[in-house]
Amino acid sequence: MKTFNRVSVVGLGKLGSPMAACIAAKGVEVIGVDLDAQKVTAIQQKRPPVYEPGLAEMIQKAGERLTATQNLSEAVRNSEATFIVVATPSQPDGHFSLSYVLPVCEVIGEVLRTKEEWYTVVITSTVSPLSMDEQIRPTLERVSGKKAGKDFGLAYNPEFIALGTVIRDFLNPDLVLIGESDTRTGDLLEAFYRKILDREPAFARMNFVNAELAKLSINTFVTTKISFANMLARLCERLPGADADVVTRALGQDSRIGGKYLKGAISYGGPCFPRDNLALIAIAQRMGVVAEVAETTDRFNRAQNRWLADFVYQHVEIGAKVGILGFAYKAGSDVVEESPAIYLARYLSEKGISLCGYDPVAQENARRVLGDSVEWMSSAEACIENAAVVVIPTPWPQFKGIAPSVWQPIARTRKVIDCWRFLPELAQLTRVQYIPLGQATMAVALPT
């Protein structure tokens, strides 16, 4: 089936830039659009506007097929479809704001008013249920004077990606979720993905509200799975001989459960999981439905931050310095939003604990949040050598290459709290007290 040969991508942030580069690298002409002149200039100069592994290489592969502009109207006039990938900030009640989406729709609507050929508008930004039918569709129809599904196509097509693996996730999805105004739009979008993806995914096509709810439901179910694994980790820490990895590995072998995201460790964070969970709770409350599973997951996850902080605090002797290795909410990203390490640093600092810290990618972002409450080190080795207690909240692969001699102090014992159990070899060092979370090897009574 015929599909798009030239598209525009509005929003060149953490998802938009990799998405634009991937599409262009697959042979489609892409016009990136952003109000931020620096992001536009970066694309024009073939540089990544944001941090994401593999993005620089993908931009080079895209070559001249990838361009950028600040002029949205021009981009719409010169393309066959627009993917809107702008921010949808969470509001105090948990719903997502459309304060960036709707102005983009108004500009697109103005161009659609005079555009004779069929055009497709794709909302990739995550939105709350009923947003498409109650706000986005009416805005486009009002400004354009045309009808979605009759005069132009409209789709809700959120991506399921994780920062640090955006390119792999975008090109190799398990599922492509499409909420469509009409069959023609869904067919065009499905054909487009079949043209550019590296694998054959499942396609789930439906109306807008079902797609909106499905997006939030998938992420909320994953957070529930993470929290269940973390609950098991806390239980294993108290049961003699128990090991969270052994237990969750067995659970993952059951096809009804599966092993993905079943790693008992510490809280989930980042820009998607926490707020998608809250958004599902918000729409349930609006509809008068009790969403107790989602509410409990969110409450448990936030309590885990305090649990970790209390646990670390109990291992700190008077006058000892604590080193924190890793501030990003996950390895492979520079994002510190909702990061357990940020909460930990704030808590210990308020308790008067001296802190040093290092992150190979997210250090500047962490410094903006924590300021001089942390002594920022130039390397992981320097952080370790300056600390009596070392906590590893983010399992960066770079930490695996640190020489054993660095971990082992000369005249004292160093405590290492490994939140992800990814440095088990430290247990063999004579002057290192290795404390892996999720195993029954704790040195002191656990906080309740």
Residue 441 lies in a domain: no
254 & 316 share domain: no
Q: Residue 147: which domain range?
A: 6-206
Can you give the CATH number for the domain in which 258 is found?
A: 1.10.1040.10
Residue 446 lies in a domain: no
Q: Which residues have C-beta within 8 Å of that of residue 148, sequence separation ≥ 6?
A: 137, 140, 141, 154, 181, 182
Domains of the chain: total: 3
Beta strands 81-84 and 120-123 are parallel
201 & 276 share domain: no
Residue 444 lies in a domain: no
87 & 113 share domain: yes
The answer for 326, left when phi > 0, alpha when psi is -120 to 50, beta otherwise, is left
378 & 335 share domain: yes
333-352, pLDDT tens digit by residue? 999 999 999 999 999 999 99
Can you give the CATH number for the domain in which 108 is found?
A: 3.40.50.720
100 & 223 share domain: no
276-297, pLDDT tens digit by residue? 999 999 999 999 999 999 999 9
Which residue out of 236, 272, 356, 383 is catalytically annotated?
Answer: 272
Contacts for 168-175 with beta carbons within 8 Å, 24 or more apart? 168/54, 170/18, 170/19, 170/22, 171/22, 171/196, 171/197, 171/198, 171/199, 172/197, 172/198, 172/199, 172/201, 173/197, 173/199, 173/201, 174/201, 174/202, 175/201, 175/202, 175/203, 175/204
| Sign of the alpha-carbon torsion through 232, 237, 243, 245 | positive
Residue 149 lies in a domain: yes
31 & 155 share domain: yes
Asked whether the beta carbons of 359 and 328 are under 8 A apart, the reply is yes
272 & 336 share domain: no
Q: Which residues have C-beta within 8 Å of that of residue 202, sequence separation ≥ 6?
A: 174, 175, 176
Residue 211 lies in a domain: no
Res 1 pLDDT > 90: no
Domain boundary residue, one of 178, 206, 234: 206
What is d(CA 429, CA 352) in angstroms, rounded to the nearest whole number? 30
Res 407 pLDDT > 90: yes
User: Structure pTM?
Assistant: 0.93
153 & 32 share domain: yes
Residue 236 annotated to the active site: no
Question: Lowest-pLDDT range, 288-302, 341-355, 415-429, 432-446?
Answer: 432-446
168 & 250 share domain: no
Domain boundary residue, one of 206, 236, 262: 206
267 & 316 share domain: no
Q: How many CB atoms lie within 10 A of CB 142?
A: 12
pLDDT reported for residue 448: 46
In the DSSP assignment, the letter for residue 22 is H
Cα–Cα nearest to 380, from 358, 354, 408:
358
pLDDT reported for residue 39: 98
231-268, pLDDT tens digit by residue? 999 999 999 999 999 999 999 999 999 999 999 999 99
Asked whether the beta carbons of 180 and 186 are under 8 A apart, the reply is yes
241 & 258 share domain: yes
